[in-house]
Structure 1
């Protein structure tokens, strides 16, 4: 198979970018929407089950984060081989990623049968009832971990070969089934909180099975190749360290916000969750960047990859600017939708300008993150994330606490964190050292 493997609209066309980004957006949004449905269903059982779901769901979110790391690494590697005209090799990356996903998922599922109780008690503290309920939910829900991670690997290689239709249905179908099963298992079937966990595990397992079936249908060799898996682990390690830097920064921010009082932590939670929502939307553009840039470099088209990077950076900035305009217009209304407490609203209003300013900067940063992940330049991204966290975000957060600067200091730190990454990414983009061609 030759260059015709990537035939279609030019890779720099807006239609091509949208064709990858929009289905990816639906896939990204499916899981949070299901969690919202799950929360509504369990919420009617009472405060204790809802608290248990919050604790167990937090742990499951961390497992899903491992899947995101796996998917991002697989997309770039698969896209390079697809761009080089070797579709079979691109799919083969998915085979090895799936072996890795299945093994990790199985280990997590088994380990959590023992660790769920101690972990829940650590997170909850002295409330034994909530901890026991959370552990019970987690032990069942985590049985879907192999399927969850297999689906992540499947998303990775299918995005790499620029197939966005199948992931859309493979994710939406199981999530819709789970959303229908959840209330039935919780209420008429009488399983209560455990019914939610069963629905979750079934959906994840079904989703993983659909991606595995798609892999088998490709008729490529399915045996594990330890050398390729080791290479994927190195890539995943760098992305994981990058993610840990992010997690440490945001956990520190919420810890310091809590020290400024209930109103402050409430306001921070509202605005940071709105920020995470915009990040989710902009991540769809980053996924398109991973697939398109990886394919261009795999095809030996360094000039096309650089043109793509410029266009994607511009699109990211424009999307971020649009969010900034919407945030400015909604400044007086949006916080009132989340809280009726005047002190919370006052605190939210104080940090709202930071929320507006950060959005166009973040739009460019997320798009260029996707460009460098697609190029396989993840070591640079790892080092940059650690540098921006240790040299910007974390010092600002803890100085805010030391000098009682309030939420403004925390959000100044977040803005500095994103701005440092913007400058470094633009310098990297200009250097051209990331645009290494070839199948990998």
Structure 2
């Protein structure tokens, strides 16, 4: 299992420049409040991957190599499409270095880099602990993890929309509108999480058969139903809180809280799986997302942070009543 995995990752690394590029361009589109274009480009890229997979893997009999080639090709397709659409919105010229505000960019980017590393390391640790349990538990874990993450990304899309709306209102100091957007984002995010939990709870046991026919793997996958479905509301809120942090440029808190949460979840992930198996891995990931939601709620409740106006408005409402 290790040798094919290393081969796959080495080939996948060729797509890293394209991924970094289209993620940066996706951020630019968010600044334009255009969430439709990135979705269309990503959709076309994913569709191309779906078409490439059977051709390279089975028609050309390349197996894992074909899977990696298909993925990398789709990533470059997404990057090219996004650059093409961006060029329709603005003229892409060579930048004037003197006019670029590198200080602020590097400061914010540094915090976000730390945050991303903390999140990636925590999820990677969960995969590592699952792999140590054997090939069959690892296969079941990957199915559960992919469905879990894919469903959660629906809330991430909502968070991106909330981030763009809040950023413009916060810059104008229109705190009333920021408060309204915040409440709507949290309510719709929670509703999305609950809806996903219901849908996955009803369909996941049957849906899992789309990934494998191995009865041993399917038995373990079905035991992960609670993890995949019941944790969706927590996942949705965690992503929404991330969008709120970014909307008010609260990057230091987003990074530091993620590092602390990641460290706490990692401690659980190190010690629980050897004792209770895969449920320990899934519990660790649920704790990770739950603590992210708690950290987000704590920040919105603080009187001395960028969300101070939420507390002032609540105190004024109490005083007037």
**Which TM-score band (shorter chain)?**
0.7 to 0.9
* Deviation of 1:434 (Å): 2.3
1:376 aligns with 2:212: no
- Can you give the 5+ residue segments of structure 1 that lack an aligned partner in the other structure? 1-49, 64-104, 106-144
Q: Does the CA-based 8 Å contact 1:246-1:385 persist in structure 2?
A: yes
Q: 1:131-170 maps to which residues of 2 (within 5 A)?
A: 145=18, 149-167=20-38
1:314 aligns with 2:268: no
Over the aligned positions, Cα root-mean-square deviation in angstroms equals 3.6
**C-alpha distance 222-428 of structure 1, shift in aligned 2 (>3 A):** same
Aligned partners of 2:297, 2:162: CA distance in 1, in Å? 15
Q: Does the CA-based 8 Å contact 2:130-2:137 persist in structure 1?
A: yes
Q: 1:12-161 maps to which residues of 2 (within 5 A)?
A: 54-56=8-10, 58-60=12-14, 63=16, 145=18, 149-161=20-32
Q: For residues 213-262 of structure 1, what are the alpha-carbon distances to aligned partners after superposition, in whole Å with 9 as ceiling and x for unaligned?
A: 235449x9942346512311221221111111111111111111122222
Aligned partners of 1:345, 1:356: CA distance in 2, in Å? 16
TM-score where L is the length of structure 2: 0.79
User: Corresponding residue for 1:394?
Assistant: 266
Q: For residues 380-437 of structure 1, what are the alpha-carbon distances to aligned partners after superposition, in whole Å with 9 as ceiling and x for unaligned?
A: 111111111111x2111111244x2101111111111111111121111122522489
**C-alpha distance 247-168 of structure 1, shift in aligned 2 (>3 A):** closer
Aligned partners of 1:285, 1:372: CA distance in 2, in Å? 14
Q: 1:183-194 maps to which residues of 2 (within 5 A)?
A: none
Aligned partners of 1:295, 1:198: CA distance in 2, in Å? 35
Q: Does the CA-based 8 Å contact 1:170-1:210 persist in structure 2?
A: no
Comparing both chains, which one has the higher relative contact order based on Cα–Cα distances under 8 Å and sequence gaps of 6 or more?
A: 1
* Deviation of 1:304 (Å): 1.6
1:210 aligns with 2:91: no
Q: Does the CA-based 8 Å contact 2:169-2:178 persist in structure 1?
A: yes
Aligned partners of 2:160, 2:277: CA distance in 1, in Å? 35
Name the count of aligned residue pairs: 301
* Deviation of 1:275 (Å): 0.7
Q: For residues 142-189 of structure 1, what are the alpha-carbon distances to aligned partners after superposition, in whole Å with 9 as ceiling and x for unaligned?
A: xxx3xx54443333223212234554566667777888899999999x
User: Corresponding residue for 1:24?
Assistant: none
1:277 aligns with 2:150: yes
User: Corresponding residue for 2:163?
Assistant: 290
Aligned partners of 2:249, 2:37: CA distance in 1, in Å? 25
Aligned partners of 2:299, 2:283: CA distance in 1, in Å? 24
User: Corresponding residue for 2:313?
Assistant: none
The equivalent position to 1:406 in structure 2, one of 268, 277, 286, is 277
Aligned partners of 2:165, 2:279: CA distance in 1, in Å? 38
TM-score where L is the length of structure 1: 0.59
